[in-house]
Amino acid sequence: MKLGSHVSLGGNDKFLGSIQEALSYNANCLMVYTGAPQNTSRLPLSKLKIPEAWALMAINRIEKTDVFVHAPYIVNLANPDIEKQQFAIQFLTEELIRTTGLGANVMILHPGNHLNRGCEYGIELIAQGINQLHRNTQGDSTIIAIESMSGKGTEVGKTFEELQAIIDLIEDKNRIGVCLDSCHLHDAGYDVQTGFSQVIDEFDRVIGIDKLQVFHLNDSKNIRGVAKDRHANIGFGQIGFPAICEILNHPRISHVAKILETPYVSNPANPKLSYPPYKYEIAMLKAGVFQPDLMDVIVLAEG
């Protein structure tokens, strides 16, 4: 079973610190943003302690294919403003090069927002953008995994059909894949709570299971279909612990890495302090037993 979480790359030890953080959660896979997801300032690869990170990965049997990069969500390939589109392509080209530099093979990308120009228009621009990214990094094998979205605002990619419409327009099919997110699927209206097998069958029929590169495992604060995208801690949302365990252990996607992106938990006694829930959630998911007390996260963290 591959189970991990998103981890920081911003500490003193950079990518080495990301691996240390993942190991501290007993994770065997991980996802990083190469910088703050809300901005586009990035450090050069030479400053990220990459060889040291690889050495630590080797000792702990974490493969390079267990590392995923998430592109920042503020760049929008579907932006109708040509200058902003060009900036997105330029930035994401560098991000793909960084992904390869970290040794990772998959860059996760939110497809984009059509900004009221219509979904078809967005799909066209996103596919053109991805084709350009592939051309700019020719010879590279790094895969762009477009993430399924909740459908908030004018997001493109809230259905398997929309994702497949993008894939249809991609020239190099070997370098395009998909990232599913249980919270996004639920918020977009897919019944992952009581019908996950059917959802996966539908994914296979519309897109193809071989395109699935990575899975974001999150609970959702919302009822199904509200197109909101608010992640909840595992077992504390509307999807619930039994359904999330079923997703984690589903035989058709057992080979796919599951990444937690659940919210930090703040200490009610001192709300300025908040802690990652991942060690607690990973232990709970591995045991298959729900421990419905988020104070455990704080006890684990504060010792």
* Segment 127 to 156, residues that bind Fe ion, using CB under 5 A: 147
Task: Select from 2, 114, 211, 216 the one that contacts Fe ion (CB under 5 A).
Answer: 216
| Nearest residue (CB) to Fe ion, 66 versus 181 | 181
Give the shortest CB-59-to-Zn ion separation in angstroms: 33
97 CB neighbour count, 10 Å cutoff:
14
**3-state class of 218 per DSSP?**
coil
Residue 155 interacts with, from Fe ion, Zn ion, none (CB under 5-8 Å by kind):
none
- Binding to Fe ion by residue 6, rule CB under 5 A? no
Helices (H), 138-226: 160-168, 182-188, 196-206
Cα-based angle 21, 26, 29 (whole degrees, multiple of 5)? 75
Residue 114 interacts with, from Zn ion, Fe ion, none (CB under 5-8 Å by kind):
none
Give the shortest CB-231-to-Zn ion separation in angstroms: 6
Give the shortest CB-149-to-Zn ion separation in angstroms: 8
Nearby residues of 254 by Cβ (< 8 Å), 6 or more positions away: 1
| Nearest residue (CB) to Fe ion, 5 versus 105 | 5
| Nearest residue (CB) to Fe ion, 147 versus 281 | 147
Task: Select from 66, 155, 181, 281 the one that contacts Fe ion (CB under 5 A).
Answer: 181
Residue type at position 60: N
Residue 229 interacts with, from Zn ion, Fe ion, none (CB under 5-8 Å by kind):
Zn ion
Q: Are 3 and 29 in contact (CB under 8 A)?
A: yes
Q: Are 188 and 149 in contact (CB under 8 A)?
A: yes
Question: Where on the chain is the footprint of Zn ion (CB under 5 A)?
Answer: 229
- Binding to Fe ion by residue 42, rule CB under 5 A? no
Q: Which residue stretch of 4-12, 60-68, 89-97, 208-216 sits at the interface with Fe ion (rule: CB under 5 A)? A: 208-216
Q: Are 222 and 188 in contact (CB under 8 A)?
A: no
| Nearest residue (CB) to Zn ion, 62 versus 78 | 78
Supply 183's token pair.
Answer: 């919270």
Q: Which residue stretch of 51-59, 177-185, 186-194, 281-289 sits at the interface with Fe ion (rule: CB under 5 A)? A: 177-185
Give the shortest CB-187-to-Fe ion separation in angstroms: 11
| Nearest residue (CB) to Zn ion, 162 versus 229 | 229
Residue nearest to Zn ion (CB): 229
- Binding to Fe ion by residue 187, rule CB under 5 A? no
Give the shortest CB-53-to-Zn ion separation in angstroms: 26
| Nearest residue (CB) to Fe ion, 147 versus 162 | 147
Residue 70 to residues 48, 106, 149, 228, 242, Cα–Cα distance (Å): 16, 9, 14, 20, 27
Supply 251's token pair.
Answer: 């035989």
- Pairing relationship of beta strands 257-260 and 3-7 according to DSSP bridges: parallel
Cα dihedral sign for 269, 280, 263, 232?
A: negative
Residue 216 interacts with, from Zn ion, Fe ion, none (CB under 5-8 Å by kind):
Fe ion
- Binding to Fe ion by residue 279, rule CB under 5 A? no
**3-state class of 38 per DSSP?**
coil
Nearby residues of 175 by Cβ (< 8 Å), 6 or more positions away: 134, 140, 141, 142, 143, 144
Query: Could you list the residues that contact Fe ion (CB under 5 A)?
Result: 147, 181, 216
